[in-house]
Chains A and B, each alone.
Chain A
C-alpha cells in the first residue's frame, strides 16, 4: 500500500438515509492511469467529490500521497497536489481563456493572495500560461472570454485549468462527454500528453477512450467495486460483462 497516490479504505457516503458509496477500498499507484467505469448512478462522480474534498465522507479513510484528507477543505486537498475537473464544465466564463489558465497556475507558483505583484510583469508565469494554451491548442482564442468558447473548447480549457498548476494527481470527470468523434480523439491525445508521468484517475463512459488510455480499470456498480484490474482482465470478467459491458456491447 505504501507509495500509493490515492488510497481509499472502507469509504462510505450517505445522503440522508441513502447510501451512495458502500464501502470502497481502492489503491491507485503513482504514475498509474486509472479509469473508473460503471452504469449511471453507480456513484462515480460522488467518489470523485469525496476524494477531492467537495463532500465529506461518512466513514472510512482517504489518503492522498500518504496523507489523510480527513476534515481538510477542498482547497487544502488541492494544495497536496490533487487537481480535478468537472463533468459539468466549470470555468471562469467572464475571464479570458488566458486568464483562466493563469488562475489555475497562481497558487501553485506561490502567488497566494498577493495584492502587491502586478501580473503583467510576471513574465515566467505568463509564458507558462501561454505554453499551456499552446498544448491545449487554444492560443488563437487566448483573449476571448471563456464563456464564448465552443463546447469542445471549453472542455479542453477545463482540462487546462486542471493540469496547469502541475498537480501530480489528476482527476478528470468525463472529459470527453458530449464531444464528437474527432473532438474526442483530440481530447484523448491531450489527456495522454498532460498525464505523462502523473497519476490519472478518470471517470469515462466512452469505452474506446477507457480501453485506449487506462492502465487499470475499476468497475463501480451501486457504490461498490465489483472488479479492478488491467483492461484485458476487465474485458474478460463475467460479472462486469453482465453488469455493464454486456449491455454496451449488445
Chain B
C-alpha cells in the first residue's frame, strides 16, 4: 500500500475514480448544497432568495451544532441539556472578535473568523467540561441542565460581554478577506457556511476514527471496562466534551456570520433542545443522523412555521412518534433495511410500503386538519388568519370540518392498523430469512 504514495501521474489518475467512489456522498452533498439556492433564484431581479439562503445557512450551522451535540450523546453516551451554552458562547466570542477586527485592533480575515468561535467553545468546553465530566448518565444530564440555566442567567446579567437582552450586534463586512470577498450578500456568506460546515463535519467524522473517538464509544458501551484497559473514563469524557465544545463554537460562529447578531437565546435551553431533537429524529446512533435530523427540524422551523402557528406541535409529535416507533431515528430505519437489501429482496417491500402509504396520509391529513382547526379557532382568529380550501373558506366554528377531520383520523387509524399487520408479517418473514442466512439482524 505504501508504495503507491510515491504517486506517479498514471497511478494518481487511476486512484481518482477510487477516491470518487469512496467520497461520492461528500461530493454530492457539496454539489447539492451549492445547487439548491439556484432553484430559488429570482431571474427577473437577478438575485438569490434571501429566505432560501437563510434557511439553508441555518441548516448548515445547526447541523454542525447537532453533530457536535452527538459527539456527546451518540458517541459517548452523554446526554447534555446545556450544549447550547458552548454554541452561544462561541457566538459571543465571534461577535467580539469580529467587532475588534472591524475596529482595526488586528487583521483577521472573515474566512477564519469561525476559528474564533471554535476557540471560544474549546476554552469554555474545557472549563465547564472539568466540572460536568466528573459525572456521567443522569447526574451528567442534570449538571448540564443547571449549567445551561446558569449561563442563560449570566447572559442577562453581564452587560459587557453579553449585551443584555439586546445581545451583541456585529458587522461581517470588515473588508478583511483572504480572497477579496466582501461578504455583503447572503450568497457569499452561504458559501462560507457551506465550506465551514463541510470542514467541521469532516473533522468530526475523522475524530470518530481516532483513539479518543473509539474510546469514547467504549466509554458509552461500558465505562467501567475502559478503566481495566488503562483509560480513565473521566478523562475520555473530558477530552470529548472539550472537543465537542470546539465544534459547537464553530456552529455559533457561523450563526453570528449569518445573522450579524447574537442574543441570549443562543445559549438558552430551547437551543439545546433543538440539537437534541435533530439528533434523535435523524438518529443518534449513526454519524450522519443528526445532519438529516437538522434538515427536518429546520424545514419545520422555517418552512412550516410560515404556514402554521402549530409548527412546534408538529415537531413535538414527530419527536414522540420517532422515540416510540423508531428510536434509531431516520438512519436507524434505513439501517434496519440492510439485511433485506443484502439479500437483494428490498423490492418485496415495495407493495407493503405502497399499501401503508394511503392510510398513513389519511391519518396525517386528519390530524393536521384537527390541529389547524384548533389553532384557527384560538390564536389564529386573534391574528385574523383564515383558511380556505379551493377558494372555499373554512369556518372553524362550524362542526362539519371538525367531523371530517376526526373521521379521517379515525378511518386512517383503523385502516393503518390493518395494513400495518400485513406489513409486519412480510417484514418479519424477511427478517427470519435473513437470520437463517446468518446475516446480522
Not counting A86-B225, A104-B229, a sample of 9 additional A-B residue pairs whose C-beta atoms are within 8 angstroms of each other reads: A91-B221, A92-B218, A94-B217, A95-B218, A112-B211, A113-B236, A115-B210, A120-B209, A148-B440
Residues A113 and B214 in contact in the complex (CB < 8 Å), given A78-B228, A91-B222: no
**A74: Cβ under 8 A from any B Cβ:** yes
Among A92, A99, A116, A117: residue with most chain B CB under 10 A: A92
Tell yes or no: A131 within 8 A of B by CB: no
Kindly name the residue among A102, A111, A145 whose own CB sees the greatest number of chain B CB atoms within 10 A: A111
The interface on chain A, measured as residues whose beta carbon lies within 8 A of the other chain's beta carbons, has a size of 39
Contact A84 B230, beta carbon cutoff 8 Å:
no
Contact: B227 with A75, CB < 8 Å? yes
Closest residue of chain B to A147 (Cβ to Cβ) is B221
24 A–B pairs (Cβ distance < 8 Å), ordered by A: A73-B227, A74-B227, A75-B230, A78-B228, A78-B230, A84-B228, A91-B221, A92-B221, A94-B220, A94-B221, A95-B214, A95-B217, A103-B214, A103-B226, A104-B229, A106-B214, A112-B211, A113-B231, A114-B210, A114-B211, A114-B212, A117-B211, A119-B210, A161-B229
Q: Residue B224 at the A interface, CB < 8 A?
A: yes
The chain B residue with its CB closest to the CB of A99 is B214
Quote the shortest CB–CB distance from B235 to chain A (angstroms): 6
Cβ–Cβ < 8 Å partners of A119 in chain B:
209-211, 214
Distance in angstroms from B264 CB to nearest chain A CB is 31
A75: chain B residues at CB < 8 Å are: 226-228, 230-233
Interface: A90 (CB within 8 A) = yes
**Please, how many angstroms separate the alpha-carbon atoms of A153 and B229 in the complex?**
19
Whether, in the assembled complex, A118 has its beta carbon less than 8 Å from a beta carbon of chain B, the answer is: yes
Asked if B243 lies at the interface with its beta carbon under 8 angstroms from chain A, I say yes
B221 x A93 contact (CB < 8 A)? yes
Total contacts A to B, CB within 8 angstroms? Answer: 102
Q: Which residue of A lies closest to B242 (CB)?
A: A115
- B130 CB to closest chain A CB (Å) equals 15
Other-chain contact of B224, A90, A120, A144, A162 (Cβ < 8 Å): A90
Interface presence of A9 (CB below 8 A) = no
Contact A116 B210 (CB under 8 A): yes
Judge whether A79 and B230 touch: CB under 8 Å: yes
Per the bound structure, the CA–CA distance linking A94 and B217 in Å amounts to 8
Task: Tell whether, in the assembled complex, residue A113 and residue B230 are in contact, meaning their CB atoms are under 8 Å apart.
Answer: no
Give the docked Cα–Cα distance between A162 and B226 (Å).
11
Q: Are A92 and B217 in contact (CB under 8 A)?
A: yes
In-complex Cβ contact of A91 among B225, B227, B235 (8 A): B225
Q: Are B235 and A113 in contact (CB under 8 A)?
A: yes
Contacting pair B229 A118 (CB below 8 A): no
Q: Are B229 and A113 in contact (CB under 8 A)?
A: no
Give the 8 A-B residue pairs with the shortest CB-CB distance, closest first. Answer: A107-B230, A111-B211, A92-B221, A74-B227, A115-B212, A75-B227, A114-B211, A115-B210
Q: Which residues of B contact A144 (CB under 8 A)?
A: 440
Residues of A within 8 A of B218 (CB): 92, 95, 99, 103
Residues of B within 8 A of A114 (CB): 210-212
